[in-house]
Structure 1
């Protein structure tokens, strides 16, 4: 039987308490477990039944249109922030291989039902790894935008407690939300949670917290995307890399990509006077975020000077400023 004894008891309790959201959440957990066990047809049918019941309930109370972002309440309000991103992958400057990996994620998510009918699950657990400012968090927002899903960002300052039991309990709340509400869930600065179990003063506590995360990640349903982003992949516990469906590496932009980043940000300005080869020579070592800041600084200087024209001097001065801050 796909449902465990604990699942069945939890379903009965949720029904007795008239807690529909909890009932549907548990049913989706049963569906996810069934899919992992090879019962793809049953998993799809159960998910479709849950979705049908949810929609029927929404119509009963007069709900129309897309499901709004429900702001987290209670203890979840200190753990999650939620919004609907309007950014798309085409708005970003991405390396060819990186874009191909993200297109694969979107394709599999959009064909989720078809995959699950054959006992397979789409990519839904992703690790973004790379230097700061290279677009890891923005990509999570773009995936949410492409799939018309809300983005829930996990606030690690609220999640991590000095008491292991509290942190594990808060993780359970977050992953209950993953099962209950289809969305993109972003664990930013993930190394704060996923560092090697040998790192830190209390090895036993770190191991228990990470083991809890690994367990919850394994059980995460494929309807939602769980995205972890880290600037320090070298300190992550090795067990994490095996649990993610896809690990995507981010790097500083090439000179051509750097120029494209600045051109995009300056699309509303007159850049006809810019000699881009001279700019290209000054972009090495800067991240996407730093290049955007440099472009914005040059644009503001031009606007406050009474013009909408960007020239070499403004851009080169702004890039020099970013290099000084980068090397400080």
Structure 2
């Protein structure tokens, strides 16, 4: 976790104080690396807590998106420079460190944590079945812990194919939505409204993050079983935004705001439902590994989206605009 905090702080500093483009790019890379390490680490760590931690984790990351996007948009709208706004954001890694090392109540031991999770996951079953003796419970728990600790490399590789039903839809959703965010958002512009071009882009990001937050907080209300439907719907958004970037046919910015909110809802729903289902469907001894490896799918999707968005964005920029 120390590396995550350091990378976040270094990323803010490099981008804020950069005098050359490559330094800013390096700062973005540091921030992205820290974010990825934090996600895979904390999602894996969440497997030793109650399954509801997935909901609160997802909701928290969604709220962080709103706070980050809105604070930057708000600070720059108030007249602060981009550099000063980023320097103020150095409070974020400080809060991260304080939360993880001082606020979070970590389990006393790995065995104790896993016993708690096993106990919570079997509460409903214990209501209808006679509870086994404490000796048999201890033996079962210890066996589960040892199985999780002793997973070999081969066993881990064998665990990956069953996870593809989670990984592929999640990766596609992130591929499509980050292609929209990185390649198309900047090309959508409504002249002669109360927002400038740059302000429109910033507030579209805020709008997107609101959708992400709402859907990431929804898993305790309903669970989406068919994750591939979310990927299909997100692909339809790609088609819509591509046509809008080329033809600028939408008559009102509010329609775009509504579709961007919908895009965020789909992305957040894919994320929280994927990891929630893993937390309840994957055997306990494989859950920690499954959480970590599945988190790579959204990172791969984001990386591919960036690689595709760069040339597509440049091609679309060369096309004549309707106005």
Name the TM tier (shorter chain): under 0.3
Higher strand share: 1
Normalised by the length of structure 1, the TM-score is 0.25
Q: Which has the higher contact order (CA 8 A, sep 6+)?
A: 2
| TM-score w.r.t. length of structure 2 | 0.26
